[in-house]
Structure 1
Amino acid sequence: MSFSVEQLACHPELVPCLRFLAGALRDRYDSGPRIARLLASHQRWLLTQTAYALHLEYDAAVAGSGLTVVRLRDVITQYRVASRNTVLSYIEELLTYRFLVPAAGIVRRPRRYEPTEVSQTAMFSWYLANLAALDLLDNGDRAAMLAAHPVLIDLAQPRMARRCLETSAWREPPERVGLFLWTEAGGLVMDHLVARLDLSTEVDGRVNLGRIDTRAIAAQFMMSRTHLQRLLRKAADGGGLGWYDEPKKTRLWMSRDFLDEYCRWQAVKLAAVDEAFTWAQSAAACAVSA
């Protein structure tokens, strides 16, 4: 039985769950910054998850199936996630950094592409981290099950990705969350802040995030300090973040209502991850017994 969005959104352990997930994703960034940045903004997250789903849905008997520029462009533009030119630039970038390669065999049009081993490993680790986070909520064994049966991701990921793409509550984050997620490296900054959360420090609707070194954060995430400071200032203007020590701006807090918005948004994705994995297990069991 998988969690619903509502069950996740009101779960008393959701914040620790998201803090664990943010830390896991931060560790992944430290071990492979360039590929981790493919999921660092919401637009890139949607592009990457959809592209991987199209690859896994390839059927040799269906002409034009799999990951092609045309198919990715058609799906992405249908939901107004990105322009045609953005999709083309995205594919070219993946090819340049060898995260994607042309599929082997006879060259047909449109050209089909496949993720390289490093991309497959990164996607597997992302799904595994999300399952491990869900396990914290009910002492489950999802992560162990995926580790024991890696092929389950081939069934679960496309279902999860399409559900997220088709769900406006995930596709279109709340405005204050989107302030971070729609910007380059903004997702990394958000993960950094969430990883610092300690609800025991909450006073008057403000959770203490401790001392923030914008210079160090900007350098770590390969972004300009000016961009980071502008991002934090806009978040402060919206009431989501604030400084205990104006005008020094070294000790940061996050408002509880902003955290609740973020938690509910993440609950939509976690529910999709959970439902898809539960379905994948059932589908695999049925295939074995057939």
Structure 2
Amino acid sequence: MTLSPSDIASHPQFAAALGAYAGKLRGQFDQSPRLSRMLASHQRWLLSQAAFALQLEYDPTQPGSGLTTTNLREIITSNNAASRNTVLNFLDQLLSYKFVRIVGDPNRRPKRYEATELPTHAMYQWLVTNLELLDHLDGGNRAETLAAQPDLFRLIQPQIARHACLNPSWLEPPPRVALFLWTEAGGLVMDELVRRAMEHAPDGDGYNIGRIDARVMAEHFMISRTHLQRLFRRAVETGCLYWPNGDRNHCILKRDFLEEYCGWQAIKFAIVDFAYERICGPVRLGKSDPRLGAVGGF
């Protein structure tokens, strides 16, 4: 039995687990900032998940399969997540930074791409981190199972991508969440706010996350300080956060905004859980389901 978004969002440990999750993502950013920076918006997240799924689904017996511009465009533009030109620019950027390479004859059309070692490792670690959070909520051993059989990654990740790109509630974040997630590097900023919030107990209508130094944060996340300050102004205008009495040493992240963000993130974690269960069957508290033997021996 899989966890539903409401199961996850209502779990008393979910917000704290999400804070720890955000801290782990921050650590992964520090390991490969250029890659993380490139993918730190919801649109780029969708593009990267879909691209990786296409690569893993490549079948040499099926002409035209795998990660190609045409295949990625078909997934992404069908749900209006991005335009055709955005897809082209995305692949061009990945290629220029050597996050993907062309495989086969470079003059052949359509060109087929595959991820290089760094983004492959990063995507695997992203899945591990998501499974660890789910395990924390229900005592499962998903991450342990993946560590024992890492090839499961090749089956689970495409399931996540396909379902994420079809779920309208995940595709379109609530307006206040979208304020961050649809903007450049907004995912990095949101992770930092959640991480800091979970270091403190809520006080009144929010969490005192201390002083936000826009210059330091902008430099660390490699974004424009002006862009970041504009983002925070809009966040104040829409009730995401505020500075009480103009005191810049004490930024308050609103409790209802964090709950809204947690509810949206719960949709993603439910998708991850569904994908895992579809491949592996329910693995709870060390108990393996008989169906495991029916899925490619996993």
Range of TM-score over shorter length: over 0.9
Q: Is 194-203 or 115-124 further displaced after alignment?
A: 194-203
Distance 1:72 1:96 in 2: 18
Does the 8 Å contact 1:35/1:119 carry over to 2? yes
**1:60: which partner in 2?**
60
Runs of 5+ consecutive residues of structure 1 not aligned to the other structure: none
AA aligned opposite 2:270: A
Change (3 A) 1:32 1:199: closer
Deviation at 1:195, TM superposition (A): 0.5
Q: Gaps spanning 5+ residues in structure 2: where? A: 282-290
Question: Is the CA contact 2:41–2:184 (under 8 Å) kept in the aligned structure 1?
Answer: yes
Pairing 1:181–2:177 present: no
Residue 37 (structure 2) pairs with residue 29 (structure 1): no
TM (norm. structure 2) is: 0.92
Kept after mapping to 2: 8 A contact 1:213/1:250 = no
Shift of residue 182, structure 1, vs aligned partner: 0.6
Q: What residue identity is the alignment partner of 2:138? A: D
* Counterpart Cα distance in 1 of 2:91 and 2:296: 36
SS at match of 2:101: strand
Aligned residue pairs: how many? 289
* 1:1-290 map, 5 Å: 1-104=1-104, 108-198=108-198, 201-246=201-246, 248-282=247-281, 285-288=293-296
Contact 1:198 1:208 in 2 (8 A): no
Q: 1:289 to 1:82 in 2, by over 3 A?
A: closer
> Which residue is 2:285 aligned to?
none
CA offsets per residue over residues 81-131 of structure 1, 9 Å max, x none?
Answer: 111111101101111111101123686421111111111101001111111
Matches of 1:52 and 1:72 in 2, distance apart? 10
Task: Find the aligned partners of 2:193 and 2:184 in 1 and give their Cα distance.
Answer: 16
Residue 285 of structure 1 and its aligned partner are, at CA, apart by: 2.9
SS in 2 for 1:67: coil
CA contact (8 A) 2:279 2:295 kept: no
Which amino acid in 1 is paired with 2:78? Q
SS in 1 for 2:146: helix
Residue identity (%): 48
Displacement of 1:140 in angstroms is 2.0
RMSD: 1.8
1:112-158 Cα offsets, whole Å, 9 max, x none, are 11111111101001111111111111222111111111111111111
